[in-house]
């Protein structure tokens, strides 16, 4: 189990909110603590805005960083510049991470509650990405068939990855999604034309990349293709040719692509003529 310490000046707001979210997202994979260089109590608005999002930090206490001087941490996160400047020395094994957030309640022309909510949301996003990049293992990711309820999440992920959505099939029966808990973090689809298939819409949330998620999705696609009688899988890519080369695909000329592939929207217009066309024989 990892140990995480979050530091800010007063251990009143930002570090308390971060502790709450990091612990909620980490579950039993980490113990999360927070402290300040000049602690002055937990701000009631911190408790209130976290409760609004379903996270209870009413039991938190405000602690001085010196209380943890003898504790070995895996990560020490500073969430304000002052805490970073005054951060004491921790064992070299601790990874030091700095991500400064505005001081809630002290933003010009913003009322205190609105300010706390805005900073809370920023810290929530940071905390999700931190847990995804630092604590998520491949075994935490599951792959399942897509459902109609997944369409909005799939479209948003494709947009963020600059991949086409205008030709996304009405039926998502040959699409698969990778889940981390209830969050969709990866997608891949297959269009089938007799004994050939077109691999499409492969995307992974940036916060979850380099965790083998794309490989898991490709394995699922290949098994599904084999079970469906597909003999060859084709794909069209602008920039990921080297990645797919490592996954068993090899480049072909556009003229070598079967007619059914050439007639797809991706081949004929959505993807530029400079795109790579690749093939994988099952």
Residue for token pair 């990711």: 141
The β-bridge partners of 187 are: 177, 203
* Residue 204: its H or E element: strand 196-204
What whole-number distance in Å separates Cα of residue 137 and Cα of residue 276?
31
pLDDT at residue 54, as a whole number = 96
What whole-number distance in Å separates Cα of residue 115 and Cα of residue 97?
24
CATH fold group of domain 139-281: Aminopeptidase (3.40.630)
Q: Are strands 196-204 and 250-252 parallel, antiparallel or unpaired?
A: unpaired
Rounded mean pLDDT, 238-245: 92
Mean pLDDT of the chain: 91
Does 139-281 match 2-135 at the fold level? Answer: no
Nearest to 186 by CA among 156, 224, 164: 156
pLDDT grade for 84, boundaries at 50, 70 and 90: low
For residue 89, pLDDT beyond 60: no
pLDDT grade for 83, boundaries at 50, 70 and 90: low
Catalytic positions are 8, 80, 87
Residue spans of the domains in the chain: they are 2-135, 139-281
* Residue 5: its H or E element: strand 2-8
The β-bridge partners of 31 are: 3
What tokens appear for 217 in the block?
């999705």
Q: CB-based burial of residue 96 (10 Å sphere; 0-12 exposed, 13-18 middle, 19+ buried)?
A: middle
Q: What is the DSSP letter of 41?
A: -
For residue 85, pLDDT beyond 70: no
Report the number of secondary-structure helices (H) and strands (E) in the chain: 9, 11
pLDDT at residue 207, as a whole number = 82
For residue 220, pLDDT beyond 90: yes
What tokens appear for 194 in the block?
């007799």
Q: Which CATH superfamily is domain 2-135 in?
A: Response regulator (3.40.50.2300)
């Amino acid at each position: 189990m990892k140990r995480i310490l979050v530091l800010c000046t007063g251990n009143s707001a930002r570090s308390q909110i971060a502790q709450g979210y990091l612990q909620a997202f980490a579950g039993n994979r980490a113990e999360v603590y927070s402290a300040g260089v000049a602690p002055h109590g937990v701000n009631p608005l911190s408790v209130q805005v976290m409760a609004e999002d379903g996270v209870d930090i009413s039991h938190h206490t405000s602690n001085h960083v010196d209380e943890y001087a003898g504790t070995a941490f895996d990560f020490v996160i500073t969430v304000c510049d002052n805490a970073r400047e005054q951060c004491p020395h921790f064992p070299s094994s601790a990874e030091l991470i700095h991500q400064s957030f505005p001081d809630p309640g002290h933003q010009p022309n913003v009322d205190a509650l609105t300010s706390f909510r805005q900073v809370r949301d920023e810290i929530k996003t940071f905390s999700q990405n931190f847990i995804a990049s630092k604590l998520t293992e491949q075994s935490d990711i599951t792959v399942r068939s897509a459902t109609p309820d997944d369409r909005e999440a799939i479209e948003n992920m494709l947009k963020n990855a600059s991949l086409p959505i205008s030709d996304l099939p009405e039926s998502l029966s040959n699409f698969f999604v990778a889940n981390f808990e209830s969050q969709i973090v990866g997608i891949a689809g297959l269009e089938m034309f007799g004994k050939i298939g077109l691999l499409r819409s492969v995307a992974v949330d940036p916060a979850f990349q380099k965790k083998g998620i794309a490989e898991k999705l490709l394995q699922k696609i290949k098994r599904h293709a084999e079970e469906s009688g597909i003999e060859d899988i084709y794909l069209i890519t602008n920039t990921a040719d080297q990645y797919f080369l490592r996954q068993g695909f090899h480049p072909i000329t556009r003229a070598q692509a079967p007619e059914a592939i050439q007639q797809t929207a991706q081949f004929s217009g959505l993807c530029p003529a400079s795109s790579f066309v690749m093939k994988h024989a099952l």
